[in-house]
Structure 1
Amino acid sequence: MFNVLIVDDEPAIREGLTTIIDWNSHGYRVIDTASNGREAIMKITQHRPDLTIIDMRMPGMTGLEVIEQVRKENSRAHFLILSGYADFDYAKKAIGYGVDAYLLKPVDEDEMIEELQRISMALTKERELKLRNAEEDHFFREHMVESFLFNENEKGNTDNINHLGLCWSSYQVVLVEVHGQLDGDSLYLNALKQKMTSYFDELDRGIVFSAGPHIGVLLKGVVNEVGVAEALFKELSAITEEWHWTLYAAAGNSVTNLLDIGVSYASAAELLHHRFLFEKKRLMISDDKQGMMHKYNNTKIVTQADEVELSDKLYYAVDIRSNDAVRRVLEEMEQQIVSFGNTEQVMKSSYAQIFSMAINKLSNSNSDIYPVLQEYSSFISDVYRQNTLTELRRMTFEYYNNLIDRLGGISKDTVVKQVIDFIQRNSNENLKLELLAEVFNYNSAYLGKLFKNYTGEYFNAFLDKVRIEKAKELLSQGLKIHQVASRVGYANVDYFHSKFKKYEGISPSSYRDIEKNSSHTSE
């Protein structure tokens, strides 16, 4: 469809030309009209029509004068002249200005349609040639950008920089990464690249190129402020909207020499590498790196012992059905695991390991909840699918909140009753008052006093008595001493022996023998 501007000082002519021709059927549409020469120049500049149909004689400024002035700025503009006079001199001048047709008023409809069809063929060929030239120019420009970025041997070939319009005041590489159902599908990635190419070519704002798993844009302008970064991100998001992909993008440092765009590319790639820690929905800029380094300056390496302790806390928090406790443990996990110095994969692996251990403990402690846990079997896999820390945090909170709801929700008992109940269920674990106090969000000394006032026993003594009672049950079943010690939570057999004798007055083996003889006697 070609755009047409109609220029005539007579309203009846303007209206008649707009309605008498079925413009759409001939591949045209009338986008505006003008009533004089100066208005025509303004609207030609505004609309840049494919064809201007213009009256020869108008007050103030003739049609030829309009054409002469427009030709200074746009030598390829197309004009069809209307004239009320069969004036050879005017026609000769019009031909000299390269007009496409010269028709006499009153306009004959068939003659007008014939000229429009002829002009349409010329416009079509011109558009096809322009498109081919644009595609060829973009191909060479893209090839040159990629050669400067990835092929050191090509950097000496700078002859075409001027010819291809690459002499800019600054250069900045933006890298775009997309995630969605079609991750890694080169067909759709190429479709996105073509769409981005059309967008940036039409606005003459940069060159789109391939950059491995990413799509690159070499920008003319500089993106170094939050407002500009937000605006460009909205533009990129609009381009990808039809595919419903999640978009991430980073801008490298700007450079003033085309030969240095590798520096901009490297800084953009390094910034995008830390996408996992970026929590804003916009294009990443260089200042964001310092912000992330400051926020996640944790240099501590999470050891296996740390992972075990964190998994214990998480298990305890779920076991007492406390969403608040879970939230505190997850926040502590983030403080310990998340670091600007670690890779995304390392951080996710730590999360997955802790979650796996906590879920295994839950499953082993109570067989009744195993069917509930089975419904969340994909949870660990989902950890690796999250593209940012924000997404991982949200997904994890939602998972554990739902899990606690399925397991029965938050306990309504007092905190001491919860601790006692917890000890009864987990006496075989390496329980410590300090750890439980942290899970329940209490000062350990204060919790110890509450516990002593409620039970009449110190925490460790109460734990020992619970373990000894469980040990007596196992000894009555004829288990060996070391098996019983391990099952009730004593890693050292001698220590178990001394504790048992302290509370029962006899050794574990003697108790087992007595129980054995007692059972025989009763028989």
Structure 2
Amino acid sequence: MFNVLIVDDEPSIREGLKTIIEWEKYGFKVIDTAANGRDALLKFNQLRPDLTIIDIRMPGMTGLEVIEQVRLEHGEGRFLILSGYADFDYAKRAISYSVDAYLLKPVDEDELIEELQRIHISLSKQVELKLRNAEEDHYYRAHMVEEFLFHDSEHGNIESVVNLGLSWNSYQIILIEVHGQAIGESLYINALKGRLIEHFDETEHGIVFSAGSNLGILLTDVIDREDQAIRLYAELSEMMEECNGLVYAAAGPMVKEIGEIGISYSGATELLQHRFLFEHKRIMTTDDLQTMISHFGNKPDVSQSDEIELSDKLYYALDIGSKDALWRVMEEIEQRIVSIGRSEQSMKSLYAQIFASAINKLSNSKTERNPILQQYSSFITEVYQQVTLKDLRQLTIDHLSRLVEGLGGMSKDTVLKQMIDFIQRNYNENLKLELLAEVFNYNSAYLGKLFKNYTGEQFNTFLDKVRIEKAKDLLLEGFMVHQVASRVGYANVDYFHSKFKRYVGISPSSYRVMEKD
């Protein structure tokens, strides 16, 4: 649909032209009218109509003078002149201004429609040509950027850089990682690329190009402040709303020469590699990288014993059904995993291993829990599908909250009764008072005193006695001494032997012989 401005000093002519023609039928829309030449110039500058139908004789400023001024200021504009005078001189001047038609008043409806149809064809071809030229221009500009980035063009063709409008004061690369959900990600990328080209190339704010599975923008206006990073991210997110897609973007450092844009590209690439740990809704900048390196880098790796301890804590928190304990443990797991500064996949893998180990222990401790726990096997798969640490955290909160609720949540028993029940069910684990104190959020020394006052025995003594009582049953069932030691939580058989003799008064073998006799 092409826009039309009608200019005539006679109100009846202006209103008559608006009503006698079915404008939309012929691909036009009247957007406004003007009563004189000066009003026409003002509205032309504001509205930039595709076609102006203008009276040739008006008081103050003639139609030809309006056309002449428009040509001087804008160099373009399509005009159809109306005149009540069959004056050859006017016609000659109109032709010199390249008007599209010259019609005499009173206007013949059929003649006007014929001219509108002809002008519509011409305007359509003009739009098609502009689009084709814009596409070609974008292709060459994007191709040159890709040449500098990916084909070792250290200096490039300086003449082409100037001709294509790439001779800027500064340059900065923005890299965009796209994530889709409903349809193939390539469709998301193509949809976003079209919007980016329209937003940046056609407004001459940047050049959009392809960068592997990502998209890139070579910006003319450098992003170096947080408010700019927030604003650009909001623009990118808005472009993807219709496609239900997610974007993550990073800005490389600013450079002064187009031959140095590879430096900016490398900086943006390194930033995107840390996208998993970045939680702000804005473009990542080089300052963010320094912050993350100083916060997360140079920390010792998580050892196997650390992994076991973390999974044990998670298991304990799940077993006692305390959400408060659970969130404390999950926060510790997250901080510990993130602090090692490894790759996204490595962090996810370690996270999944800890969770799987805790769930397996929980399942083995009470078989009646299995129907509830089986539905959480899919959680491990979902861990690897999360795009950021923030997403993974929310996934964990949702799953574990439902799991604790499904298991019955926190009982009404006291902490000490829960500890005793826990020990009696998990005597074969490597139980430590310090670990349980962390789960229950107590000082270990204070919890030890409470435990002794409640049971009359030290924590380790109570645990030993539970284990020895279970060992008696296993010995009478026919298990070998070393098997019994392992089953009740003693890794060293000699240590088990000394403990058994201490509490029972005789060796495990003697006990079995005596009880069978």
Residue of structure 2 in register with 1:21 after alignment: 21
CA distance in 1, matches of 2:24, 2:183: 41
Q: Which SS does the other structure have where 1:349 is aligned?
A: helix
Structure 2 partner of 1:315: 315
C-alpha contact 2:191 2:243 (8 A) present in aligned 1: no
| Offset at residue 170 of structure 1 (A) | 2.1
1:145 match: 145
Q: Is the 8 A contact 2:11 2:35 kept in 1?
A: yes
More deviation in 193-202 or 436-445? Answer: 193-202
- The answer to whether the 8 A contact 1:184-1:213 is kept is no
Query: What secondary structure is seen at the aligned counterpart in 1 of 2:376?
Result: coil
Amino acid of the structure 2 residue aligned with 1:458: Q
Give yes or no for contact 1:147–1:155 (8 Å, CA) kept in 2.
no
The corresponding residue for 2:105 is 105
Map 1:316-355; keep pairs closer than 5 Å: 316-339=316-339, 341-355=341-355
- Aligned-residue offset at 1:374: 0.8
- The verdict on how the C-alpha distance between 1:490 and 1:92 changes in structure 2, with shifts beyond 3 A counting, is same
* 1:420 shift after superposition: 0.8
Which range moves more in the overlay, 210-219 or 12-21?
12-21
Amino acid in the other structure paired with 2:293: M
CA distance in 2, matches of 1:500, 1:340: 42
Counterpart in the other structure of 2:463: 463
Compute the RMSD of aligned alpha carbons: 1.7
- Residue range with higher mean Cα deviation, 340-349 or 401-410: 340-349
Map of 2:234 onto structure 1: 234
Tell me if structure 2 keeps the 8 A contact 1:224–1:286: no
1:85-127 deviation line (CA, Å, top 9, x unaligned) = 2222222111111111111222111111111111111111111
Who is 1:5 aligned against?
Answer: 5
- State the 1:312 CA deviation: 0.6
Distance 1:113 1:296 in 2: 72
Count of residue pairs brought into register by the alignment:
517
**Paired residue for 1:513?**
513
In structure 2, the partner of 1:69 is 69
Equivalent position of 1:416 in the other structure: 416
Q: Report what 2:303 is aligned to.
A: 303
Deviates more, 1:237-246 or 1:314-323: 237-246
Q: Is 1:444 matched with 2:444?
A: yes
**How much has 1:341 moved relative to structure 2?**
3.3
Of stretches 320-329 and 187-196 in structure 1, the one that deviates more from structure 2 is 187-196
Task: Check conservation: 2:154, 2:259, Cα contact below 8 A.
Answer: no
Task: Supply the AA of the counterpart residue of 1:220.
Answer: T
Partner Cα distance (1:469, 1:238) in 2: 67
SS at match of 1:375: helix
Deviations 1:440-491 (A, max 9, x none): 1100000000001100001011001111111111112111111111111111
2:117 maps to 117
1:174–1:268: 8 Å Cα contact kept in structure 2?
Answer: yes
**3-state SS of the aligned residue for 1:378?**
helix
C-alpha contact (below 8 Å) 1:300/1:336 kept by paired residues: no
The match for 2:386 is 386
SS at match of 1:203: coil
Deviation at 1:145, TM superposition (A): 0.7
Supply the AA of the counterpart residue of 1:79: F
Moved more, 231-240 or 351-360: 231-240
Which secondary structure does the structure 2 equivalent of 1:135 belong to?
A: helix
Indicate the residue corresponding to 2:204 in structure 1.
204
Maintained 8 Å contact 2:249/2:272: yes
Output aligned runs, 1:175-186, within 5 Å. 175-181=175-181, 185-186=185-186
Length-normalised TM-score, structure 1: 0.95
User: Which amino acid in the other structure matches residue 251 of structure 2?
Assistant: A
Aligned equivalent of 1:289: 289
Equivalent pair of 2:153/2:259 in contact (CA under 8 Å): no
How far has the Cα of 1:12 moved from its partner?
2.1
Q: Does 1:248 align with 2:261?
A: no
CA distance in 2, matches of 1:272, 1:484: 53
Evaluate the alpha carbon distance shift between residue 184 and residue 257 of structure 1 in structure 2; reply closer, same or farther with a 3 A threshold.
Answer: farther
Q: Secondary structure at the match of 2:387?
A: coil
Matches within 5 A, 1:20-99: 20-99=20-99
Give, in whole Å, the separation in 1 of the partners of 2:195 and 2:32. 29
CA drift at 1:263: 1.4
Q: Distance in 1 between matches of 2:80 and 2:168?
A: 38
TM-score, L = length of structure 2: 0.96
Deviation of 1:255 after TM superposition, in Å, equals 2.0
Q: Which runs of 5+ in 1 are unaligned?
A: 518-523
For 2:209, the aligned partner's letter is F
Q: What is the identity, as a one-letter code, of the residue corresponding to 1:358?
A: A
Deviation, structure 1 residue 48? 1.6
Q: How far apart, CA to CA, are the structure 1 residues paired with 2:507 and 2:329?
A: 40
Q: Distance in 2 between matches of 1:292 and 1:6?
A: 61
Q: Which residue of the partner structure matches residue 221 of structure 2?
A: 221
Per-residue CA deviation, residues 170-221 of structure 1 (Å, 9 max, x unaligned), is 2221111111236864354334323322332332221111100101111221
> In the TM superposition, what is the alpha-carbon distance from 1:254 to its structure 2 partner?
1.9
> What CA distance in whole angstroms lies between the structure 1 residues aligned with 2:240 and 2:339?
31
Aligned AA for 2:503?
A: Y
Structure 1, residues 324-363: CA drift from partner, whole Å, max 9, x if none? 1111111111221103732111211111111111111112
Alignment of 1:124-135 (within 5 A): 124-135=124-135
Distance in 1 (CA, whole Å) between partners of 2:463 and 2:204 is: 75
- 1:155-166 to 2 correspondences below 5 Å: 155-166=155-166
| Secondary structure at the counterpart of residue 24 of structure 1 | helix
Describe the shift of the 1:165–1:128 C-alpha distance in structure 2 as closer, same or farther (beyond 3 A).
Answer: same
TM-fit CA distance, 1:379: 0.6
Compared CA separation, residues 191 and 314, structure 1 to 2 (3 A): same
1:515 and 1:14 mapped to 2: Cα distance?
117
Pick which of 84-93 and 496-505 moved more: 84-93
When structure 1 is superposed on structure 2, of 35-44 and 15-24 the one drifting more is 35-44
CA contact (8 A) 2:5 2:32 kept: yes
Identity of aligned residues (%): 67
Superposition deviation, residue 39 in structure 1: 2.4
SS in 1 for 2:141: helix
| 2:119 partner letter | I
Unaligned 5+ segments in structure 2 are: none
Query: Is 2:174–2:219's contact at 8 Å kept on the other side of the alignment?
Result: yes
| Equivalent in the alignment of 2:489 | 489
Q: CA deviation at 1:300?
A: 2.4
* 1:520 counterpart residue number: none
Q: For the residues of structure 2 that align with 1:514 and 1:178, how far apart are their CA atoms?
A: 73
Cα distance in structure 2, aligned partners of 1:303 and 1:78: 76
Aligned to 1:521: none
Q: Report the alpha carbon displacement of residue 69 of structure 1 after superposing the two structures with TM.
A: 1.3
Query: Deviations 1:308-330 (Å, cap 9, x if unpaired)?
Result: 11001111111111111111111
Q: What's the CA shift for 1:375?
A: 0.5
The one-letter code sitting in structure 2 at the alignment partner of 1:17 is L
